[in-house]
Amino acid sequence: MFTQEAYDKLVKDLENLKNVERPRVLQELVDARAQGDLSENAEYHAAKERLASIDNIEMPKLQDQLARAQVIAFDANSDTIKFGATITAKNLKTKREIVYQLVSPEEADALNGKISFKSPIGAALMGKKRGDTVEVVTPKGKNQFEIIDFK
């Protein structure tokens, strides 16, 4: 499962590998070959390894992710929190409001407010409604969150 934003990023990353990065590395390989003796040519070996990584690891991984991707959009009319929702909650211990978007584990980025729906906080929020209170045990201890809103 991916948000549309994450799916679009995968497409952009694959296009960048195909149309920018791979041609650049191929040119580096050609330039390094032109320098002569390949046995002691560090630039040649580095470019060859980078090209192998692009062709055998990075592009196949992105192609596989895109082939299996299921884009899920949050239903704004939902009365419960589901994948893709952006939640505003109040930490009852610190009295601070937090905003999280529930995303797939692959696109989680806690520093930017994107947490996995499978994380302790994400799992606790799934299926809840406005006004509900959830209790979550995190590495920093037990926390309670009151759900203020979600969209």
Domains of the chain as residue ranges with CATH: 4-68 (1.10.287.180), 86-150 (3.10.50.30)
pLDDT for 66 equals 95
Mean pLDDT to the nearest integer, 19-48? 90
How confident is residue 54, by pLDDT bands cut at 50, 70 and 90?
Answer: very high
Which residues on neighbouring strands pair with residue 135, listed in sequence order?
144
- How far apart (Å, rounded) are the C-alpha atoms in residues 32 and 74? 50
Alpha carbon separation from 122 to 61, 66, 102, 130 (Å, rounded): 26, 24, 6, 15
Residue 73: what pLDDT?
Answer: 87
Length of the chain: 151
What's the pLDDT at 116?
Answer: 96
What is the pLDDT averaged over residues 133-146?
A: 91
**Complete edge-to-edge strand list for the sheet that includes strand 86-91:** 114-116, 97-103, 86-91, 141-150, 133-138
Least confident piece of the model among 3-12, 15-24, 38-47, 131-140: 38-47
Question: How many Å apart are CA 144 and CA 41, to the nearest integer?
Answer: 59
Q: Determine the pLDDT at residue 138.
A: 81
Residue 17, token pair as written in the block: 């590998």
Residue with tokens 């296009």: 15
**Model-level pTM?**
0.77
Q: What is the pLDDT of residues 61-118, one digit of tens each?
A: 999 999 999 999 888 889 999 999 999 999 998 999 999 999 999 999 999 999 999 9
> Band of the pLDDT at 39, cuts 50, 70, 90?
confident
Residue 7 pLDDT: 95
127-143 average pLDDT score: 92
Q: How far apart are CA 17 and CA 79, in angstroms?
A: 41
Q: Which residues, 6 or more positions from 1, have their beta carbon under 8 angstroms from its beta carbon?
A: 70, 71, 72, 83, 104
